[in-house]
Amino acid sequence: MRIHVDSDKCEGHNRCYSIVPELFDVDDYGYATAAGDGVVPKELEDKARLAVDNCPEYAITISED
Q: Which residues bind ligand SF4 (CB under 6 A)?
A: 5, 10-16, 30, 32, 55, 57, 59-60
Minimum distance, C-beta of residue 2 to ligand SF4, in the bound complex (Å)? 15
Minimum distance, C-beta of residue 41 to ligand SF4, in the bound complex (Å)? 19
On the 0-12 / 13-18 / 19+ scale of CB atoms within 10 A, 8 is exposed
Cβ atoms of 12 and 47 closer than 8 Å:
no
Q: What is the CA radius of gyration of the chain?
A: 10
Nearer to ligand SF4, 21 or 30 (CB): 30
Nearer to ligand SF4, 30 or 41 (CB): 30
Nearer to ligand SF4, 10 or 35 (CB): 10
CA distance 48 to 40: 7
